[in-house]
Amino acid sequence: MNNCSFKKYSLTLRGKLVDIDRPWVMGILNATPDSFYSDSRVMDELAIAQRATAMVAEGADILDIGACSTRPGAEVVACTEEIKRLDVAVKAVRAAVGNDVVLSVDTFRAGVAQHCVEELGVDIVNDISGGDLDPMMHNMVAQLQVPYIVMHTRGTPATMQQLTDYDGDVAAVVLEELARKIDILHQLGINDVIADPGFGFGKTVEQNYRLLSCLEVFHALEVPLLVGISRKSMIQKVLDCSAHDALNGTTILNTIAMMKGAHIVRVHDVKAAVEARKLVAFTMDKSS
């Protein structure tokens, strides 16, 4: 992909070096009854298996499995319940699509991350709190030695949208705060870090679009960049639509993100993202 904004990186997955030489598509699997987009909720084994199989067939590079909703205002479920849901979901996914598909676990709890990596064979830890909600998370990831997605947010899911006052430009503040955490992670021996600016987490609609408009600045972090915009309120509020009608807006914003060099797009709709990636790659190749 001859995109001047796209910088290649490598991750160590299962002891092997894997190149990110094009944007990866991460498909969302929510083993929860209360995720903000109802069509993404899959609670029973058959539904989970069917969704995972469909996403892999459509071209997903990673499946991201979560069992505790972190939408704005969400109530956090007990750790035992989160693990119970993940046990069902991860086992159903592995049975359906095999062991070759890369899985990430969407959790902010160190104990859940440990269980999923050591007991269930999950490959990546995706932490929406960047370690803020569990002080043991960073040390746990250092122990597990798996890639870690550090996301920027503020507060908790229940309070984050009350914490949108930034001292200065939101992009500069988010960049600085992510850089500080990445430095800490590297000092702990965590080499495979992926940065997520945290669209929709502790940001207003305007702040979200400011982050997207200058997404290139986050390449200064010198780690792969993940963008999670799929069907979020930043699309709904501008287009005056529901999450169910936000696919077109999602695809447009994912296209912008990929043209600005995003390495991973986290999506509910894999097929649309894969098609967008193909068109972006074709455009970039023809412009070089």
Q: Which of 12, 13, 27, 17 is nearest to 96 (CA)?
A: 27
DSSP alpha helices (H): ranges in 98-168?
110-118, 137-144
- Which of 203, 231, 266, 277 is flagged as catalytic? 266
Q: Which of 176, 81, 193, 74 is nearest to 127 (CA)?
A: 193
Expressed in percent and rounded to 5, the helix, strand and coil fractions of the chain are 45, 15, 40
- Which of 181, 232, 260, 277 is flagged as catalytic? 232
User: Would residue 266 show up in a list of annotated catalytic residues for this protein?
Assistant: yes
- Token pair recorded at residue 209: 């679009």
What's the rounded Cα separation, in Å, for the pair 14 and 21? 18
Helix/strand/coil (H/E/C) assignment for every residue in 156-168? CCCCHHHCCCCCC
User: Would residue 180 show up in a list of annotated catalytic residues for this protein?
Assistant: no
For CA atoms 213, 214, 216, 218, the dihedral sign is: negative
Query: Long-range contacts of range 172-178, CB-CB < 8 Å, 24 or more positions apart?
Result: 174/198, 174/211, 175/217, 175/218, 175/220, 175/221, 177/152, 178/130, 178/150, 178/152, 178/218, 178/221
Tell me which residues are annotated as active site.
Answer: 232, 266
